[in-house]
Structures are given as structure tokens and as C-alpha cells.
Amino acid sequence: MSKRTLAIMAAIGATTIYGLNHTIAKGVMPMYVKPYGFILLRVTGAAILFWGISFFGPKEVIERKDWGRVLVCSILGMAINMLAFFKGLELSTPINSAVLITISPIIVVVLSALFIKEKITLQKASGVLLGFIGALVLVLFGAEARIDAPNIPLGNALFIVNAASYGAYLILVKKLIEKYHPFTLMKWMFTLGILINLPVAFSEFSEIVWQDLPNEIIFAILFVIIGTTFFTYLFNIFALTQLKASSLSAFIYLQPLLGIIFALATGKDSLSMVKILAALLVLFGVYLASKRPKPAP
């Protein structure tokens, strides 16, 4: 089996884990672990794992001038991004999160135009507009009466905050990735993530009644820490050794399909015409925003 085939399998594996995560993480909250307490569990577990694996990487020291960017990236990628997503998942539904997560590429296009002056073509602008309309439809009209989704509009809005902070993180971390090994960056970013999240999340973390956690909930927590946080990053790093970043990012389009199928199969969510329409608008918008224009003859 060629390395390229293995890289494609790794990318599909990472996307599959992300797709399952929408439903699995939802099953834990808020009955057993509240969202902010879950984040403290996630960043602490990931920090331990990345420190452990960092001994197999190069011995690097982050330069003093780069610590500011490392801190901002940690705030965006290990705090705001995660806090908004998990709180949104508590308030909304797995299908909504699976659909709205795909607007990240659109956010990247907009932020790239604002911060690094990347040109936005008519095609990209159309994609951004369609994706925004789809997200707005889901936020404003996707509400439905559900005990486990107490505030769907707010939850959907938080998914957009999650996508925006993650998009900004991707832009800012790019220079660091070019300079430092991923293991070096991840161990320090997740360590900072613990300190940043601690004041917000410790109260909910301290409320966890460990002895009352069923085995399936413990499995779900481990899945989020080891699978969603640790292995997905390793899979994506390996995939990048054989695939272009643009090719790897295209796999995010599988998330709504996988997330919706898993949510429906486990009976954790249901489809509606509003969700279908919003999903089609978002996905087509992402396609237009991410598609490379044809070269001029």
C-alpha cells in the first residue's frame, strides 16, 4: 500500500472521528459532565499525551518573540474555539453542529482577506454569501422543541463563534508551524490551554461525580480526549506529508454527511426541511469559496 493511500485513509479517519464526535460528545453533556468541565478534561488529557509523545520529536526551544503568537493561538484554538463548540453542542443538536462546522473554510477566506490581504474573487464572495445565508437560516429557523437542546439559536450562534475562532487560529498558527515541530507547538499550546480554561472551567470540572459515571460515558470522554483531540491531529499531520493542505481541507465536507448519518442511526437527532436547505446552502457556499478558479487561457 502506497504512502499516499495511507495518507488518504488517515485523512478519512480523522474526518470520521470528527463526524462521530458531534453525537458522542453530546451524549455526555450536561447530565454527566458540563461543557466547560469537559473542555478542562480535554485540554488536560491532550497536554499529557502531547508531552508524552514530544520526547520522540526534536528538542526545540520556542523563541521569546514567538510566545505572544503562541499565546494568542492557544486562546483561539484551545479556549474560545473549544468552549464555544461544546457549549453550543449542549444547547443545540449534533446535526446543526455537523453542518455549521463546515463554514470554517469560509471564515478563513474572509479573515485572509482582512489580515493578509488575500484577494476575494466573485466566486469566493458568492460562496461566502451563500454559506452565511445557510448558517443564518439554521440559526434563526432551525429551532425545534427538544429537552436536550434548550436554546438552539444560541447554540448555533456559538458554532459560528467556534468556526470563526478556529479560522483565525489556522491563519495565525501557520507561521509557527513553518518554524517549529508540531509536537513542540501542541505540548505548549495545550499546556497554556489548561491555564487559560482553568478559571472558567474549574467550577464545572469540580462538579463531576466520578464514581457515578457509567462505562459508556467514560468511553465517550476517552474518545473525545484520545480520538477527537489526539489521534485526529496525528492523522492530519501524517496526511499532510503526502497531500496538499488544500486537498486535506476538502475532507471537512464529509463531516456533515458522517455526522448526520451517525446522529440519525443512533436516534440522537432528526432531519427537517430547514436543516436540509441550510446544509445544502452551507455546503455549496463552502464549495464555491474553496474551489480554485480556472487559470486564464
CB of 98 closer than 8 Å to CB of 88: no
Summary mean pLDDT of the chain: 81
Q: Quote the pLDDT of residue 286.
A: 62
CB of 29 closer than 8 Å to CB of 38: yes
168 grid coordinates = 483565525
Looking at the chain, how many residues does it have?
297
Q: Quote the pLDDT of residue 147.
A: 62
Residue 21 banded pLDDT, cuts 50, 70, 90: confident
Most confident listed range (18-27, 44-53, 118-127)? 44-53
Domain map (residue ranges) of the chain: 3-290
- Terminal CA-to-CA distance of the chain, rounded, Å? 38
- Kindly state the average pLDDT of the residues 7-33: 87
Which position has the higher pLDDT, 161 or 108?
161
Residue 68 CB neighbour total at 10 angstroms:
9
Q: Quote the pLDDT of residue 96.
A: 77
pLDDT in tens, 166-180: 778 877 887 888 788
Could you give the CA distance from residue 166 to residue 162 in angstroms, rounded to a whole number? Answer: 6
Which position has the higher pLDDT, 236 or 42?
42
Q: Quote the pLDDT of residue 296.
A: 52
Residue 249 banded pLDDT, cuts 50, 70, 90: low
pLDDT in tens, 57-111: 899 999 999 999 999 999 998 999 999 999 998 888 887 777 777 776 667 667 7
pTM of the model: 0.77
